[in-house]
Amino acid sequence: MAQPYRTAYHFQPPRNWINDPNGPMIYKGIYHLFYQYNPEAAIWGNLAWGHSTSTDLVDWTIHPPALIPSDSYDINGCWSGSVTLLQNGTPAILYTGCDTQDTQLQNLAIPKDLSDPYLIEWIKSDHNPIMVPNPGEETLFRDPSTAWLGPDDGIWRVIIGNEREGNGTAILYKSKDFIHWTEAERPLHWTNETRMWECPEIFPVLVDGTENGVDTKVIFQGIKYVLKISVAGTGVDYYTIGNYDHENDVYIPDDGFVDNIESGLRVDYGRFYASKSFFDSAKTRRILIAWVDESTSREIDIIKGWSGLQTFPRKIWLDKAGKQLVQWPVEELETLRKNQVILPATTLKAGSKSEIPGVTGAQADVEISFSIPIATLEQAEDLESSWSNSQEICRQKASSANSTGVGPFGLLVLASNTIEEYTAVFFRIFKKNDKFVVLMGCDQKRSAEGFEYDTSKYGAFLDVDPVTEKLSLRTLIDHSIVESFGGGGKTCITTRAYPTLAINDNAHIFVFNNGSHDVEVSGLSAWSLNRAQIN
């Protein structure tokens, strides 16, 4: 069967279902990616830890699953978890197992042979389960994080996703030996703004203005912390930036950061969930990977025989202003680039569209930047005070033609020859109290000609001042996934698209301006991308 939606450089196994990334790490120079995997079907169930390794985060070798349901404490599924590198460098997996009653239990596994850099075989601890839920929380107790050591006491800490009395909670457990764990007096953090937290993570970030990452284990001055949570049932990963009070073992978000789905910061404003990060000691960076699910139906997944992708790995760091994370595809992606197309700076007329020629539109990497003259900015529409929610503005205003204002302008990707089909990634500029507000969006209304698989419109504000800065956009296109990075990675939107015309060689990329004012394209580079080796 033709498989136009399989990806060329986004990780996916040859067949079957995948979801959350689990326990990514680097060990003896080899990157390991585990993931929720159903070895038997293209639907969720029978969950094992699929396992792949790579030397460059681009090409991947698929190994047998590292964990499969086998014992009373995980017979109904080996669910999500994380890897911790113990003091002697031994990787230890903490994961959630489901028993026959679907009670969620935390378990430990370690490699059988530490001299094997591929860590093919894993042994489950005889002590399993090593953490059991409190009464009433049997199905609200999952996804252990990477553990970290207290600075003075040599005691391990780990957080587990939980809902307590209706509140999203990261419960804290402590252990001296990584085997015997007890629940701490208080959770690391909780909120009454959301329900169940899945896949919680806390990790340090530097405030020195560099893009370097730090090990989860390292604790010293000059560090801030990020708490990332995935809110069950919402498909949203969001995060706050704050401090970690080591004396009381609690996390405190900085002023202005909210544990709130409506107005909190999202890791990505599109289709993106259960992200997990790790410290890459080989390149002193922190890398984040997330699950991007299908937006087609279960029936279609079964027919095509697979479901789910992982994002391309992203480097993440704290923005200089300390107000948000910045994300950027790891530099190794650039080894796939070929046939660079550079277009000179040009005026993009109101109402115009022009093709970026010479690029394989189904497998591409595009970097474009715009500059908007101040006289044009002055023409921007006013941002109505009722429009505080960027997703809502995007739903209302989207990327349609004949707009009155500055934008939408940007890229039409996975576009058919005559543009009846396309996915629009765009900017729109609004005026608010003498300042300008930039909205970044992705509009899928026309992504699949003849079908209504997914007509979502995603949107988010981008913290860039168009008076003093260029508006940059980088978009990765890979057959059925589009990952976009605005403002150098300050706002990210990932989407899935299932074109019926813009398939393989029939996929095109256009630059467009549907606003009523001209804008300047100040730079454009695009590359065709080679296929990664994923087998």
Give the whole-angstrom CA distance, residue 105 versus residue 138.
Answer: 8
Show Cβ contacts of residue 18 under 8 Å, excluding neighbours closer than 6 positions: 12, 35, 36, 37, 38, 50, 291, 307, 308, 309, 310
Residue 61: alpha-carbon gap to chain centroid:
22
Contacts to ligand DQQ from residues 190-229, by CB under 6 A = 198-199
| CB of 262 vs ligand DQQ, minimal distance in Å | 21
Confirm if 315 and 62 have CB atoms less than 8 A apart: no
Show Cβ contacts of residue 236 under 8 Å, excluding neighbours closer than 6 positions: 230, 261, 266, 273
Which CB, 16 or 80, lies closer to ligand DQQ? 80
Nearest to 450 by CA among 410, 489, 423, 420: 420
Number of residues located near ligand DQQ, criterion CB under 6 A: 13
At 397, phi and psi to the nearest 5?
-100, -35
| CB of 122 vs ligand DQQ, minimal distance in Å | 17
Binding mask 288-327 for ligand DQQ (x = CB under 6 A): ----------------------------------------
Tell the residue number behind the tokens 């005559």, with chain if given: 418
Cis peptide before 91 (omega within 30 of 0): no
| CB of 81 vs ligand DQQ, minimal distance in Å | 8
Which CB, 143 or 280, lies closer to ligand DQQ? 143
**DSSP state at residue 187:** -
Helix (H, G, I), strand (E, B) or coil at 458: strand
Nearest to 8 by CA among 533, 413, 531, 414: 531
| CB of 37 vs ligand DQQ, minimal distance in Å | 9
| CB of 274 vs ligand DQQ, minimal distance in Å | 4
Which CB, 96 or 310, lies closer to ligand DQQ? 96
Using CB under 6 A as the binding rule, whether residue 96 contacts ligand DQQ is answered as yes
**What is the helix (H) or strand (E) element at residue 227, kind and residue range?**
strand 223-231
Contacts to ligand DQQ from residues 131-160, by CB under 6 A = 142-143
| CB of 77 vs ligand DQQ, minimal distance in Å | 7
| CB of 160 vs ligand DQQ, minimal distance in Å | 10
Which CB, 19 or 528, lies closer to ligand DQQ? 19
Catalytic residue among 20, 59, 268, 478: 20
Which CB, 230 or 390, lies closer to ligand DQQ? 230
What are the tokens at 193?
A: 């703004």
Q: What share of the chain is helix, strand, coil (3-state, %, to 5)?
A: 5, 50, 45
Which CB, 55 or 234, lies closer to ligand DQQ? 234
Which CB, 43 or 343, lies closer to ligand DQQ? 43
Which CB, 273 or 312, lies closer to ligand DQQ? 273
Contacts to ligand DQQ from residues 18-57, by CB under 6 A = 19-20, 36, 47
**DSSP state at residue 457:** E
Q: Among this protein's residues, is 177 annotated catalytic?
A: no
**DSSP state at residue 464:** -
| CB of 352 vs ligand DQQ, minimal distance in Å | 42
What is each CA distance from 106 to 129, 133, 371, in whole angstroms?
A: 6, 9, 52
Nearest to 391 by CA among 239, 253, 519, 264: 264
Residue 135, classified by CB atoms within 10 Å of its CB into exposed (0-12), middle (13-18) or buried (19+), is exposed
Confirm if 182 and 160 have CB atoms less than 8 A apart: no
Contacts to ligand DQQ from residues 261-280, by CB under 6 A = 273-274
Task: Tell me which of 79, 190, 312, 527 binds ligand DQQ, using CB under 6 A.
Answer: 79
Residues that bind ligand DQQ (CB under 6 A): 19-20, 36, 47, 79-80, 96, 142-143, 198-199, 273-274
Residues labelled as active-site residues: 20
